[in-house]
Structure 1
Amino acid sequence: MQKITLLILLVISQIIYAQTKLTETEKLVGTCKVWGFLKYYHPKVANGDFNWDNQLLEVLPKIEQAKTKKEFSLVLENWIDSLGEVKEIVPITPPKDVEYFDKNFDLSWIDSNKLFSKKLSIKLKFIEDNRFQTNEEIGPGYNPFKNGNYFDLKYDNKNSKILWMCMYWNLVEYFFPYKYLMDQKWDVTLEKTIPLVLESKNEDDFYTVIRKMAVKLDDSHVEFAIYKQGRFEDDKRYFPASCKIIGDKMVVMEILGDSLAQADGIKIGSVITKVNDKTIKELITEYRDLYSASNEPVLLDKVVRKILSGYSDNVNVEFFEEGKYITKSMTWFNYHDSHRNEFMKGATKKKDKFKLLDNNIGYVNMGVIKVKHVPDMIEALKSTKAIIFDMRNYPNGTYEEIANFLNAHEENFAIYTYPDFSYPGRFKWTEGTNCGSENKDNYKGKIIVLLNEDSMSQAEWTAMCFQTAGNTTIIGSQTAGADGNVTELDFKEFHTRYSGVGVYYPDKRETQRIGIVPDIEVKPTIEGIQKGKDEVLDRAIKFIETGV
């Protein structure tokens, strides 16, 4: 009796499965995953035997016609069969000398996907076990567009837009090293993005959708630039100074167009409370989902750049001056590029590469000094009691020469995870990078490194290197949390990118999103900026003199 009951239940479940209707989003989620999996796993597809973009465009009408789970799975099964036989190979044995990083790796959807027939899941699992194999070792600079061309995007064609989305989603799914650190699971991003792609009616709509999709990487390296005239193109009119958000206000940090700033009475420390009648808090909320950032300080920096640029010549800016709110109708200009000298009478001050401060303390501006200057820096500062390396900027590849001066021994300071093309989605640990050398005459004084949210990528990596000297103290605030080489994605009318290599300390501590954690945390204050103080530098000098 029990066997008969089980048989009846099985038959009923199969009937329900076969007749269950699917939404368009459900079908496209499944299709996107299968297309990407076959692109990187199927031996003939990964080898380039098919125009895989066209294959997707040809199968999408069939997917659209499929109404039930059974019909949907059958379309995918027939598609796989049309690609030819996948030969069974000797079981692939993981190399003994390779340590895998698997926090990004997840093919569980092959078996657990409720849309797939058992037969389809078996086919996909067989392809995984007999997948494309390559000896290609990849690292910085690999070609993410292998076997694809995504430059002729047709914005009025639904399937063309779906193709681009599938390409980008799978590229991140298999080759973005920090997928596991996203706030929102990448699967969820796919489910939420598909309806928006389908609803987009023009180029600007589509750019907005894919920009918001890229934001979900939570990666400070992610940028999005449009080459043609459009809503999110690099803007052409600018506020004449750079600013930082402190609390719910925006504070002028550096004058960039001094004649313009002077005309409106703007100086370092000027406090901005509104732009075009919107508070800074309101503007942050408005732009938050348009910029990808590993952490909040970098997000605020990116939002500031958006707030301080636009297409309008005339902008109303509210300042808080001497206890009063004052609104000024400003004219913004393009003082960048060819127009720079027209508005830069004396704002750009020459910055010292290195110098000697009071009390025998050395100072090095890591954003200015270059490799050719390092020998002179060493000669000038080798007898100081401390050297402050100001890395609130982007260095010029000087880490090796400076580390040879600072370190007594060669030290490993960073290890990496690279994608494994023989098993996409998996990453390999590498031995990493060393710095320093055997040097008994190494620098014996205190080493101070100043960092903040402007310290990104090479700056964070260089700070990791300097930490190996053993007598290094990090002072400042949270860094950008985007360490590693960048993978550039350059299209016909727009450009984006993301961190392409995972970077970790030798003990496998993470740097992505966290950044380089300061030993002493110090942030600028509005009062300090207005008094002309560099509170981070002042704190470093205090630490050198007192030890606390």
Structure 2
Amino acid sequence: MGEGKRRNWKSLVFFSVLLIFIIAGCSTSQETHQLGREKEQEFDQGSRMKFSSLSEQKIVDFAKLSKVWGVVKYYHPKVVSGDVNWDYELFRVMPSILEENSDVNSILYEWVHSLGSKSISKELDVQYQFSEDSIQLSPSTDWSKDEEYLGTDLSLELSKLLDSNISEREYAYVSFKDDSFFPSMGNENPYSNMNFDDTGYRLLGLFRYWNIIEYYYPYKDVIGEDWDRVLLEFIPKMVDGSDYDSYFMTLAELTTRIHDSHAYLVGKDREPITDYFGTYRVPVNFIEINNQIVINKVINKCGLEVGDIVLKVGDKNIDELLEDRRKYISQSREDTASLFFLNLFRTEQKNTDVTVIRQGNKRNISAVGSQQDINFLVDTKSQAMESGEIYYINAGLLKDGEIDKIMKKWWNTKGLIVDLRNYPSSILTYELAKYLIASEKEFATVSVPNRAIPGEFYFLEPLVSGKPQETNAVYKGKVVILINEHTASQGEFTTMSLRNTENSIVLGRPSAGTDGDIRIIMLPGKIKTAISGLGIFNPDKNPTQRIGLQPDIRLDPTIEGIMEGRDEYIERAVELIKGGY
């Protein structure tokens, strides 16, 4: 099959799967036969490694161990095939690495070399060969060629291994099923009975996560962190603790370092990381205006009022509170993240002192917390406005098939307002686009992992939306798309599609900068986390992650408007449509 045809065929497969890209992928199913790694039992009851501190040199040595372990995990045929329990092999080599004055390079060489290299093939299937301009991300494996760092023998061993080019990965720790682009981490053992004072298993949790990001995270190049330094930083943090809470919170802090609002952490008893901030939440919504946290909605009567500027909650001023939450809740951008917004005002006690500025005066309020769910939903229903001249669509409240009924009934309106400040309840990316865009137009480019070369991501053909064939039968009115910091993931993907409408304007504030399907990761101790698994880019391949989509017209709500109960986004959209832009 020619490269162009092969790419187009793959794009069709991807297109059908991408319609549900926000849903976490299913774990790869296993065959009934038992893999070699599943027969191992030596460390089922523990790694037999317990220590509470490391010298500076040993931190460096364990970081090297993690990096070498990661290369072998994803590149060696015996590990990829499931023949070897690579977690348990880590526990076997750890004691030698821990010894003072040990020859770490020689130990690691003998360890890797013992697996053998006869089965390593250097042939790369043409299906997984991509031109340089198609490569979005390349493996960060240059360190493996550094003989000063690894020694000659280990460096040569790893260099050979990096040419293994294995495309069949059904039983690998990160697997691919059939022709799927989606990587699955479902073959990782969650070690539900882990003892949390077991240093070996604690480090396994760190090494597993660090290497998944190293080889299977499409946005590794924009996280804004030196990922090697993160490893060095977290080894002593992981070693220092000896209980569940210290392990869980260290992992939470680690997940924030990829700066991805898709990241979350759920504990062994299915408790989210946010429970650690308290079981009560002050039942309000807030918005950031001019670097101030302003209450913009009171869900239940609690003592706070719309328009209050929050200065302090309990014994922490607002800046301390923001910093504390950001340490454990991942954010693509500092002004975004659904988990962050929902849990800023979590408290241990039902009643909490809150200091605010209310109508220019500083006041101390005894706020009453609640244990009910809180959301930032814009609850304005889809409706006709301005005597039927304009129709407002709330994407978060749509039912399946409703968009077809709306467009047929309100086809001749002067304008549409498409509100994407909520997470879309129905997939509008293609369904609404076919009414607005006269012919198919590129709106996004997607990068996917090269299953044969861990660490490499390549671009698929650009995605298109709009009518499949050119026609004049499209909506002729103006279209205003509303976005803000809550517009994330599918909301951003939808915005990228609909902004190709000829008479459209994107109004509001930059979006969350969090796009791509969610990949689930199980860590030792039955702890679950997630990452954005595929890369989403503009058609010109410029990134959206951590940047967000930029509005054509920026609009920041005002405290005055909030206190008057006005939705300034909708008001401004109506003005734009009536004025003809």
Structure-2-length-normalised TM-score: 0.82
Residues 139 and 179 of structure 1: CA distance in aligned 2, closer, same or farther (over 3 Å): farther
Q: Distance in 1 between matches of 2:561 and 2:436?
A: 32
Match of 2:275 among 233, 236, 255: 233
Question: Is this contact kept in 1: 2:447–2:535, CA < 8 A?
Answer: yes
Partner amino acid, structure 1, of 2:218:
P
Task: Encode CA deviations 1:412-448: one digit per residue, 9 max, x unaligned.
Answer: 3222111112100001211243222134211011111
Partner amino acid, structure 2, of 1:511:
T
Q: Percent identity?
A: 28
Q: Distance in 1 between matches of 2:368 and 2:476?
A: 53
Q: Distance in 1 between matches of 2:544 and 2:190?
A: 33
Question: Is this contact kept in 1: 2:266–2:272, CA < 8 A?
Answer: no
2:154 is the alignment partner of 1:120: yes
2:78 is the alignment partner of 1:35: no
Residue 104 (structure 1) shift: 4.5
Task: Encode CA deviations 1:303-344: one digit per residue, 9 max, x unaligned.
Answer: 44333122212211123223322212233221239xx9xxxx
Partner amino acid, structure 2, of 1:89:
S
Q: How many residue pairs get matched?
A: 512
Residues 133 and 198 of structure 1: CA distance in aligned 2, closer, same or farther (over 3 Å): same
Residue 30 (structure 1) shift: 0.7
- Unmatched runs of 5 consecutive residues or more in structure 2: 1-54, 170-175
Q: Distance in 1 between matches of 2:506 and 2:274?
A: 37
Question: Is this contact kept in 1: 2:441–2:465, CA < 8 A?
Answer: yes
Task: Encode CA deviations 1:351-377: one digit per residue, 9 max, x unaligned.
Answer: 413333357122110111123211221
* More displaced stretch, 477-486 vs 351-360: 351-360
Question: Is this contact kept in 2: 1:357–1:363, CA < 8 A?
Answer: no
The residue aligned with 1:7 is: none
Question: Is this contact kept in 2: 1:242–1:252, CA < 8 A?
Answer: yes
Residue 160 (structure 1) shift: 0.7
Question: Residues 193-204 of structure 1 correspond to what in structure 2 (within 5 A)?
Answer: 193-204=234-245
Residues 527 and 132 of structure 1: CA distance in aligned 2, closer, same or farther (over 3 Å): same
Q: Distance in 2 between matches of 1:306 and 1:411?
A: 39
The residue aligned with 1:172 is: 213
2:362 is the alignment partner of 1:325: yes
Question: Residues 129-168 of structure 1 correspond to what in structure 2 (within 5 A)?
Answer: 129-134=163-168, 136=176, 141-146=182-187, 148-168=189-209
Match of 2:84 among 50, 66, 83: 50
Q: Distance in 2 between matches of 1:146 and 1:191?
A: 27
Residues 47 and 128 of structure 1: CA distance in aligned 2, closer, same or farther (over 3 Å): same
The residue aligned with 2:555 is: 522
The residue aligned with 1:80 is: 112
Question: Is this contact kept in 1: 2:418–2:479, CA < 8 A?
Answer: yes
Q: Distance in 2 between matches of 1:349 and 1:463?
A: 17
2:480 is the alignment partner of 1:451: no
Match of 2:398 among 369, 377, 399: 369
Residues 145 and 389 of structure 1: CA distance in aligned 2, closer, same or farther (over 3 Å): same
Residue 90 (structure 1) shift: 5.0
Match of 1:286 among 315, 319, 324: 324
CA RMSD of aligned residues (A): 2.7
Task: Encode CA deviations 1:446-491: one digit per residue, 9 max, x unaligned.
Answer: 1110000100000000001102222221110110001110112245
Q: Distance in 2 between matches of 1:96 and 1:74?
A: 34
Question: Is this contact kept in 2: 1:394–1:455, CA < 8 A?
Answer: yes
Higher-Rg structure is 1
Partner amino acid, structure 2, of 1:542:
E
Question: Is this contact kept in 1: 2:124–2:165, CA < 8 A?
Answer: no
Residue 66 (structure 1) shift: 5.6
Residues 545 and 124 of structure 1: CA distance in aligned 2, closer, same or farther (over 3 Å): same
The residue aligned with 1:343 is: none
* More displaced stretch, 459-468 vs 106-115: 106-115
Residues 349 and 185 of structure 1: CA distance in aligned 2, closer, same or farther (over 3 Å): closer
2:309 is the alignment partner of 1:255: no
Question: Is this contact kept in 2: 1:174–1:424, CA < 8 A?
Answer: yes
Structure-1-length-normalised TM-score: 0.87
Residues 98 and 354 of structure 1: CA distance in aligned 2, closer, same or farther (over 3 Å): farther
- Secondary structure of the residue aligned to 1:216 is helix
Question: Is this contact kept in 1: 2:252–2:265, CA < 8 A?
Answer: yes
Residue 130 (structure 1) shift: 3.0
Partner amino acid, structure 1, of 2:96:
K
- Secondary structure of the residue aligned to 2:306 is coil
Question: Is this contact kept in 2: 1:254–1:268, CA < 8 A?
Answer: yes
- Secondary structure of the residue aligned to 1:296 is coil
Q: Distance in 2 between matches of 1:279 and 1:248?
A: 14
The residue aligned with 2:496 is: 464
- Secondary structure of the residue aligned to 2:311 is strand
The residue aligned with 1:417 is: 447
Residue 227 (structure 1) shift: 5.2
Q: Distance in 1 between matches of 2:179 and 2:292?
A: 45
Partner amino acid, structure 2, of 1:441:
A
Partner amino acid, structure 2, of 1:310:
T
Residue 92 (structure 1) shift: 3.2
- Secondary structure of the residue aligned to 2:546 is coil
Question: Is this contact kept in 2: 1:366–1:395, CA < 8 A?
Answer: yes
The residue aligned with 1:391 is: 420
The residue aligned with 2:343 is: 306
Residues 510 and 375 of structure 1: CA distance in aligned 2, closer, same or farther (over 3 Å): same
The residue aligned with 1:407 is: 437
